[in-house]
Structure 1
Amino acid sequence: MIGLRNPGLGRNFNRFWTGESLSHFAVQLGAVALPVISVDLLHASESQLGYLNAASTAAFLVLGLPAGAWVDRWFKRPTMIWANLVRGLAISIVPVLYLAGVLELWHLYVIAGVVGIATVFFDVSYQSFIPMLVGPGQISRANSRMEATAQLARLAGPALGGLLLKVVSAPLLLIADGLGYLASWGFLLVTRDHEAEYRASRPPRERRNLVVEIREGLGFVLRQPAISRITLASLLSNFASTATYTLVPIVVLRLLGFSPFEYGVIMTLGAVGGLLGAAAAGRVTRRVGTANAVRFSTLAGALAVFCYPFAMLLGDKATQFVVLVVGAFIGNSAILVYNVTQVSLRQRLCPPHLLGRMNASVRFIVWGIMPVSSIVAGWASQSMGVGSFLWITAGLGTLAFVPLWRLHRHIPA
């Protein structure tokens, strides 16, 4: 696996990578816990599950644009340190409330909202941080290594988490999430980057109005032809996939009747595809070109989502299981090729001083649609039925291919 074998990214990158690896693995241990808490323990309806997903992503819609301008003014590493501390403490409240016997669904809404706010600042900083750790020629390798490690965590975490749910309650498993964020926090404390040197090498910039800086970042995204097309494709894809994945816990755990452990196994086997996709992204890009890698991974990921409504038509549980695993495998593989390739491309095309605002603007557009999609999924699936709604969202996802049709014309050689 190329992303994991190649040395030479530097000691500080390795510290950052180690912290994020521990964080990803710990968080994935609890990845299966939240759906089990909401669906099995608190008996959430489709609309309530939509509200929960909306709470976790609403911050990207509300704070996405100003966060980018703020992050461009701030140093990235301290921002991530504080964000991880907040996330670790907030998620640890869930097992405390459960042990006190007072855990309710509205608590999850509030905690998801707090974690979402911290995640906005972490993610915008994170996507702007890699170029401050490694040289321009190593950005793709660094992103590939980070994504491959995240997929290794997704490979082992959910199945082990589902197995642990046989002996511990789901809320207690979220202790792993808190510890994971705190592990990343600790490694960030000892990581050193080149942002101070980069800032010192640039002429001092006059502090401008926040609205002006937001407009500059958003304008760059909308005017840069390759980034604008990728952003539109991601917007369409995220609307459709978020609507689908909002309902996946209800489909798998309630309608198809799989156990939490089986749900975790499906996630784990699907993550094998993600691991292969992350590790092979660089090779795929070199073989078929950046534009084709972005285009066809988008299409493959959209087609894989059809596995969920299709599985609901089948009567045999073993066949349903295979269909879900194959769909998750293909979908995760495609998503990781897409993410590694398009993030690396955006980082190469954007001037360093605009990275925070560029990433925040992209996140505002493509993640800001997610709370809307989650609420629509909850309401629409209750009125027309989960199966019918999932066929519609799967079809909508294929439209993400359209903006990318002529992407190759806008990527410099």
Structure 2
Amino acid sequence: MPLAVAARGGDALQIGLVSAALYAWWIVSVPLSVITDRLGIGPTLRIFAPLRFVGLAVIAIGVATEAEWGYGVLLTGVLLYGFADVVVDSASGTLPAAVMKSEDYDAAYSSLYAVTRTADLVLGPVLGAGLFLLNLWAPFALAVLLLAVSYGTLFSFFGDQRTQAAPADGTEPGWFSATFAGLRHVVRTPLIRGIAITLIGVAAASEVTAVVVAPYVRAAAESDYWPQILGGVNAIAGIAAISAALAATVIAGRLGRTRTMIGAATLGVASPVLMSLGPSWTFVALALVAAAVGEAIWVPLAQASMMKATPHHLLGRTRAAVMFIIWGTIPATSLMAGALAVTIGLVWTLIVTALFAALLCAFGFPALLSGGRGERELRRTRTRLPRGR
């Protein structure tokens, strides 16, 4: 969408407004996630997923309109798409937990992450760039078609009993308690609390690395082709991320999920440290690969762990609570990275970021280990119970 705005003559302010409109709904993702738990995963997807089609269609109309009011139409479509995307994310992100056995969560979320990254890093950019050559609205038309195929593929799950809302037990809490039940579950559950704290540090390290890498290599580049070289390095990091996501289940099976997650988080913390060693392409490549691989292993295992530690009636709100924590800190992290880079320099910004991420991991790892031990003990207790208990 930013490319479409730029292509139709939009300035930096208009591009910024479009990006802000797309992610603005994440601010209220926690209240919106109540929809998923109240209606059920299947009904939520059946009702709200088509709104993304409508949003994309409105965006395509705005892009195709050369008149000044076309930008307003485009912005309206972005707001509609962003709203639907936040609601649908809570439902689609918890769908595997509703229809699969808990022992298959790791493989399911690892596969989904690999597919998503392939679409984000390979298919999306290639198809989008090619279709922009035909017409500005063409990528959005293809997106509508692909979402329609996705909707049809998932249609059988919409009425599946496993994706319906959990039955009420007669003790339904008030609106405020129900809305923030997911946040309370995150705080009260050691495993999920450890995941959330650690994830803030890992996300901060990854975001700062992404923010400073371009000016970092530009300042020391000896070639005018540094953007192309950086693009190639990012592509290598993307391939490494996809491979790591596919291997995450195997690695966790051999080392243990908690140890694997701690190792993946450590890779994320090491990313800014590696880059701070110097702007050579070797260090930059190692830093970007470390960040990509750490995220690719961490995210699916963390998602699976959260779903295992969350009751069915809180799945949507718990996922939204964690996503709110992450999406809420990333904009602040980006602004702080830019401010620090201007005042103390790029290298010290990377070092401060690594220290910040390491500090959060120091608080998150103990909770993660404690929660992991509790989960294993609960499983052992369940296996020792006589049948029928």
Tell me what 2:266 maps to.
299
For 1:275-321, what per-residue CA distance to the aligned partner results, in whole angstroms no more than 9, with x for missing partners? 111111101111111111111101102212345555xx54xxxx43x
Q: Distance in 2 between matches of 1:58 and 1:374?
A: 16
User: Partner of 1:408: helix, strand, or coil?
Assistant: helix
2:320 to 360, 378, 384: 360
**Alignment gaps of 5+ in structure 1:** 1-29
Give the match for residue 96 of structure 1. 64
Give 1:190 deviation, angstroms: 4.1
Cα distance in 1 for partners of 2:343, 2:138 equals: 36
- Corresponding residue of 1:145: 111
Q: Give the Cα–Cα distance (whole angstroms) in 2 for the partners of residues 409 and 267 of structure 1.
A: 36
- Show the 5 A alignment for 1:303-382: 303-306=270-273, 308-310=275-277, 313-314=278-279, 319-320=280-281, 322-382=282-342
Number of the residue aligned with 2:194: 229
Q: Where does 1:13-412 land on structure 2 (aligned, <5 Å)?
A: 34=3, 56-60=22-26, 62-74=27-39, 75-78=43-46, 81-86=49-54, 88-89=56-57, 92=60, 95-96=63-64, 115-154=81-120, 156-157=122-123, 160=126, 168=133, 172=136, 175-176=138-139, 179-180=142-143, 182-191=145-154, 192-193=156-157, 196-198=160-162, 203-205=167-169, 208-248=173-213, 258=225, 261-306=228-273, 308-310=275-277, 313-314=278-279, 319-320=280-281, 322-386=282-346, 388-406=348-366, 407-411=368-372, 412=375
For residues 258 and 68 of structure 1, the distance between their equivalents in structure 2, rounded to whole angstroms, comes to 45
Say which SS state the counterpart of residue 185 (structure 2) adopts. Answer: helix
SS at match of 1:193: helix
User: Residues 307 and 327 of structure 1 are in contact (CA less than 8 Å); yes or no, is this contact kept in structure 2?
Assistant: yes
CA distance in 2 between partners of 1:385 and 1:218 (Å): 36
Aligned-partner SS, 1:405: helix
* Bigger-Rg structure (1/2): 2
Q: Cα RMSD between the aligned structures?
A: 4.0
Q: Which has the higher contact order (CA 8 A, sep 6+)?
A: 1
Contact 1:54 1:371 in 2 (8 A): no
**Matched-pair identity in %:** 20
In structure 2, runs of 5+ residues without a counterpart are 377-389
Give the aligned residue type for 1:299.
T
* Distance in 2 (alpha carbons) for counterparts of 1:272 and 1:151: 9
Instruction: State the one-letter code of the partner of 2:357.
Output: G
Where 2:157 maps in the other structure, the secondary structure is coil
Which amino acid counterpart does residue 309 of structure 2 have in structure 1? L
Once residues 158 and 96 of structure 1 are traced to their aligned partners in structure 2, the CA distance between those partners, rounded to angstroms, is 20
TM-score, normalisation: structure 1: 0.72
Pairwise CA distance, 1:240 = 3.9
Which string of whole-angstrom CA distances, capped at 9 and with x for unpartnered residues, describes residues 206-230 of structure 1? 5653312123221111101100111
**In structure 1, C-alpha distance between the alignment counterparts of 2:6 and 2:124, rounded to whole Å:** 15
